[in-house]
């Protein structure tokens, strides 16, 4: 209800169009939405559907301030996860989902990663729970530099074309 704004690509600051955004509808594709401008703050994954009251559904403390479109990807998936910042400590290469890095790799933390192929969601807790972060291909040396306090991930999931 109320004013609306349609976007089909990344949008760093919605405040110039909407002072507050408390609901959304995804008609095509997948998006990450953020509760702060410039793709900062808490992140939430949204695929096709209506999110009339996402604040209570996701526990968001504020409203959507920016969004990033996740491109459809159909290739292979590959990511290296590291126990410590700057690619230090134990390293494991992943090509599929992992619901608990402690159980699978005996790894207490994932504090840096290198995404070679595909798009991934990383979660703060095992079994795809807690805060999440979207990772696209690139090197991520220190999650704290990305505005992530606590800087550790315990489970990872590929964003597959079945979400579209």
Judgement on whether residues 151 and 106 belong to the same structural domain of the protein: yes
Judgement on whether residues 61 and 98 belong to the same structural domain of the protein: no
- Residue 148 binned pLDDT confidence (cut-offs 50, 70, 90): low
The per-residue pLDDT for 158 is 96
The per-residue pLDDT for 101 is 95
The per-residue pLDDT for 56 is 54
Report the DSSP pairing between strands 66-70 and 30-36. Answer: antiparallel
Tokens of 139: 């090197």
Judgement on whether residues 40 and 90 belong to the same structural domain of the protein: no
Name which of 96, 126, 118, 95 is nearest 110 in CA terms. 126
69, 142, 155, 104: CA torsion to nearest 10: 140
Judgement on whether residues 44 and 99 belong to the same structural domain of the protein: no
State the average pLDDT for the chain.
Answer: 86
Mean pLDDT of all residues in 120-140: 94
The HSE-up count of residue 1 (CA atoms within 13 Å, CB side) is 1
- Residue 61 binned pLDDT confidence (cut-offs 50, 70, 90): low
Judgement on whether residues 66 and 87 belong to the same structural domain of the protein: no
Judgement on whether residues 38 and 107 belong to the same structural domain of the protein: no
| The model's pTM | 0.85
Domain end: 41, 70, 99, which one? 70
Query: How many structural domains comprise the chain?
Result: 2
Judgement on whether residues 84 and 145 belong to the same structural domain of the protein: yes
Choose from 15-19, 29-33, 57-61 the range with maximum mean pLDDT.
29-33
Name which of 72, 67, 77, 74 is nearest 35 in CA terms. 67
Are 128 and 120 contacting, i.e. CB atoms less than 8 angstroms apart? no
Alpha helices in 22-62 (DSSP H): 54-58
Residue with tokens 């696209």: 136
């Amino acid at each position: 209800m109320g004013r609306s704004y349609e976007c089909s690509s990344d949008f760093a600051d919605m405040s110039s169009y909407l002072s507050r955004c408390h609901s959304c509808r995804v008609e095509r594709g997948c998006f990450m939405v953020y509760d702060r401008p410039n793709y900062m703050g808490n992140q939430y994954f949204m695929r096709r559907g209506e999110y009339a009251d996402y604040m209570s559904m996701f526990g968001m403390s504020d409203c959507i301030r920016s969004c990033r479109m996740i491109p459809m990807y159909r290739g292979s998936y590959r990511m290296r996860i590291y126990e410590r910042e700057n690619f230090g400590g134990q390293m494991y290469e992943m090509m599929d989902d992992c619901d608990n890095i402690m159980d699978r790799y005996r790894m207490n933390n994932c504090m840096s990663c290198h995404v070679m192929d595909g798009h991934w969601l990383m979660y703060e807790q095992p079994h795809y729970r807690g805060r999440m972060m979207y990772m696209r291909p690139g090197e991520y040396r220190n999650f704290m530099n990305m505005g992530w306090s606590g800087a550790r991930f315990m489970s990872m999931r590929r964003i597959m074309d079945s979400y579209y």
